Amino acid sequence: MKRLLFIVALATMALFGRAEDLSSPNGKMKLTFELQDGVPVYQLSLNEHPIIKPSQLGLELKNTESLLNGFTLENAEKSTFDETWNPVWGESSSIRNNYNELAVTLKQTSSNRKILIRFRLFDDGLGFRYEFPQQENLNYFVVTKERSQFAMAGNHTAYWIPGDYDTQEYDYTISKLSEIRALMKKATTPNASQTPISATAVQTALMMKTDDGYYINLHEAALKDYSCMHLELNDKNLVFVSVLTPDAVGNMAYMQTPCTTPWRTVIASDKAADILMSNITLNLNDPCTYESTDWIKPVKYIGVWWEMITGKSSWSYTNLPSVKLGETDYSQTKPNGTHAANTQHVKDYIDFASEHGFDAVLVEGWNEGWEDWFGMSKDYVFDFVTPYPDFDVAVLRDYAKSKNVKLMMHHETSGSVRNYERHLDTAYQFMEDNGYNSVKSGYVGDIIPRGEYHYGQWMVNHYLYAVKKAADHKIMVNAHEAVRPTGLCRTYPNLIGNESSRGTEYEAFGGNNVNHTTILPFTRLIGGPMDYTPGIFETHVNVHNPDNNSQVRTTLARQLALYVTMYSPLQMAADLPEVYQQHMDAFQFIKDVAIDWDKTFVLEAEPGDYITYARKAKGNDKWFVGKTNDEEARTSEISFDFLPADQKYIATVYADSKDADWLINPQAYEIKKYVVSNKSELKQFCAPGGGYAISIVPVQDKAELKGLKKL
């Protein structure tokens, strides 16, 4: 690791209108900051092309003068930073963190209060945040509004979901900024009880494309002890302003100096691939806080989840409501016969995982309380340690250990967060005692205490509390229905996954848009990995449940590609073992594909249309390629120039057949093998809703080349 730090202290000033300029390390991106009549204003350009037009900054506080205006510039400091760091897991084994920084200290004359705005300018974008030094006239304070503006330079095409304080589980809409208001009412809502927070508010990460081919992404980084940010669009002048998630009484954040806000991020490039390859979100987070990380391991897993999501099996042991948690006499109840989390059934999954080299088996519905949960009596439902009568914890613990497989815990909080926190120490100790080293936590439903939101400061603090507490027990966390990621996995790498978006489960609830997985890497995944749960080979859900006529909007080949395009160190083979048994040739790719990477390249990309990644597995010379395609049939053209020179490889291509189509022929695929080198090129058909996956393995013996065609 090398680090260069040069600080140039500028003379203290008290001038209005003084402009401070900052360039990115390569000189292509430029930031200008100034006070205009005492109001902080910044603007950003790339290649002299406007990315953010002059935009105001500041905050409103409760029962006191706002921090919006009346400022003088007290000090400005510039510095340069350059380091290379190594993530515990990730898309690359090393990440460069190189930026130029401008820190401006502003003094509000009327209140004698100070605020520092820190800008970090990278080659691919900008991060800025507010910092509040400890001071006599600003100690405890309450933020009622944050007024950070992002003024757009045109009526860009946006890839958006509605602003919502509780969920990101929406299909994306693609429209011009000026069309958001008209289309907001038509946006697909997760359920009838959830509605957008306003007619023009959208969620981050927000992806946009300008008419002249620039790509812009707005998000936040290092969200801690603050509420999640949305963006409200003034569609008259095309200016976004930050909107924070309120608490139960309408306040946005409770602060005590010294303190900071999260970073607000702007990623920009004239190439879509650069958005996907940006590490700004991670780089704006603190380094790993743990001294030892050898207990944090990427996980490839299977589980009973999909059979319950489709309705084939049930979470609950019985259909009758329990009387009192932990005291129900199940000997007096009749099992429903569809409970998936029973000892023998889980043993079968353990056997399948062991046979095919999977790390873990996730078991949901193992613990008492699901009868109450489905009855919506959610005040105290789960204790996270009491199994149903047909789930033998000790037997399965020992059986999994004998097969060299881990069991993955499931904690559904049902939104009863205080209940979860009361049980957390006991629940994590129970996991540790029984060999569980990872947990999928869920936060379905309205938050209790009532009035709090999933994305408010109170819940943001809870999610991090659970992750830190898990680390005490060397447990990894995969949080579902939690706040969207903002790069905290750098600091707390046991946060190995999140959902926080519309995942594969919605394919069993009516379907996701066909282009969904061509947008998510540009939006949701900017903040961190997603537990998308791919690998669905049987796309007709009624095969598992005759009463469910949903269809997964994908081809089989694209399901393979998602293991490469939807980055996560936590990857599930989500379909049923009996389905995989019918397609073992295609299933081989899921067995082979890596989940941790040394290098990553984007070969093709256009948001909403297609994405093609190439990745090198960590610690060996195997490569994997994946392409996800939208609803339009197209031919992909890629070069293998990412491969090292003077080395031959065998490429196994798993692709759509010519007659494949997500709607009428989703399981039509073909598998071909070729000899490739870094001079090879491939033209490959992609069906509507399709794609392809390639495993690339170095040639060890010339005999392996016999009968194979060269590309």
Closest by Cα among 59, 58, 64 to 36: 58
pLDDT value at residue 18? 74
Asked if residues 486 and 525 have their Cβ atoms less than 8 Å apart, the reply is no
Listing DSSP states for 457-515 in one string gives: HHHHHHHHHHHHHHHHTT-EEEESSSPPP-STTTT-TTEEEE--S--GGGGGTT---TT
Pick from 12-26, 395-409, 496-510, 605-619: least confident: 12-26
Q: What is the mean pLDDT of residues 449-464?
A: 96
Q: Which among 121, 117, 99, 102 has a CA at the least distance from the CA of 52?
A: 121
Residue 6: its pLDDT value, please?
Answer: 39
d(CA 451, CA 361): 35
In this structure, what token pair is assigned to residue 52?
């953010």
DSSP 415: T
pLDDT tens digits for range 69-94: 999 999 999 999 999 999 999 999 99
| Mean pLDDT, rounded, for 462-469 | 98
Q: Does the structure show a pLDDT above 90 at 558?
A: yes
pLDDT of residue 326: 55
Residue 543 has pLDDT above 80, yes or no: yes
User: What is the three-class DSSP state of 553?
Assistant: coil
- CA separation for the pair 567, 573 (Å, rounded): 14
Tens-place pLDDT, residues 163-205:
999 999 999 999 999 999 999 988 877 775 567 799 999 999 9
Q: What pLDDT is attached to residue 624? A: 99
Residues facing 691 on adjacent strands: 628
Inter-residue contact 673 to 648 (CB < 8 Å): no
- Look at residue 371 and tell me whether its pLDDT is greater than 90: no
Q: Are 363 and 403 a contacting pair, CB within 8 Å?
A: no
CA angle 623, 627, 633 (to 5 degrees): 150
- pLDDT tens digits for 595-650? 999 999 999 999 999 999 999 999 999 999 999 999 999 999 999 999 999 999 99
Predicted confidence band of residue 381 (pLDDT cuts 50, 70, 90): confident
* Stretch (H or E) spanning 578: helix 577-580
Active site residues: 505
Residue 462: band (very low, low, confident or very high) from pLDDT cuts 50, 70, 90: very high
β-pair type (669-676, 95-108): unpaired
Q: Which two tokens stand for residue 59?
A: 């905050």
What are the CA-CA distances from residue 522 to residues 101, 219, 251 (Å)? 26, 11, 31
Contact yes or no for 586/556 (Cβ under 8 A): yes
Q: Which long-range contacts (CB under 8 A, 24 or more apart) does 111-117 make?
A: 111/64, 111/65, 111/70, 111/137, 111/138, 112/136, 112/137, 113/67, 113/137, 113/138, 114/74, 114/138, 115/67, 115/71, 117/33, 117/40, 117/57
Alpha carbons within 13 A on the beta-carbon side of 404: 5
Rounded average pLDDT over 654-661: 98
For residue 2, the model assigns a pLDDT of 38
Cβ burial 465-498 (10 Å sphere, 16+ → b, else e):
ebbebbbebbbbbbbbbbbbbbbbbbbbbbbbbb
Give the model's pLDDT for residue 524: 98
Q: Compute the average pLDDT of residues 557-576.
A: 98
Least confident of 82-91, 95-104, 148-157, 411-420: 411-420
Please say if the pLDDT value at position 122 is more than 90.
yes
- The mean pLDDT value for 411-430 works out to 95
E strands of 516-592, at which residues? 570-572
**Residue 192: predicted pLDDT:** 58
For residues 311 and 309, give the distance between their C-alpha atoms in angstroms, rounded to a whole number: 5
- For the whole model, what pTM was predicted? 0.96
Given a cut of 50, is residue 274 above it in pLDDT? Answer: yes
Do 14 and 73 form a contact (C-beta atoms < 8 A)? Answer: yes
The reported pLDDT for the residue numbered 322 is 55
Q: How far apart are CA 311 and CA 150, in angstroms?
A: 45
**Which pLDDT belongs to residue 325?**
53
Residue scoring higher pLDDT (707 or 31): 31
Confidence grade of residue 9 (pLDDT, cut at 50, 70, 90): very low
> What are the tens digits of pLDDT across the range 308-364?
999 999 999 988 765 455 566 777 778 999 999 999 999 999 999 999 999 999 999
Every domain of the chain and the residues it spans: 4-283
**What is the per-residue pLDDT for 190?**
75
The mean per-residue pLDDT over the stretch 480-495 comes to 98
Per-residue tokens: 321: 């409501």
Q: What is the pLDDT of residue 328?
A: 67
Say if CB 74 and CB 13 are below 8 A apart: yes
Rg (C-alpha) for the chain, rounded Å, is: 26
Phi, psi for residue 478 in degrees, rounded to 5:
-125, 95
Average pLDDT over residues 251-257: 98
* Percentage of the chain exceeding pLDDT 90: 89
Q: Is the pLDDT of residue 17 over 90?
A: no
- Do residues 365 and 412 touch, judged by C-beta distance below 8 A? no
Q: Which CATH architecture has domain 4-283?
A: Distorted Sandwich (2.70)
Q: Is the pLDDT of residue 377 over 70?
A: no
User: Position 675: which residue type?
Assistant: V
**Degrees (nearest 5) of the Cα angle 521, 127, 628?**
10
Q: What is the residue-averaged pLDDT of the chain?
A: 94
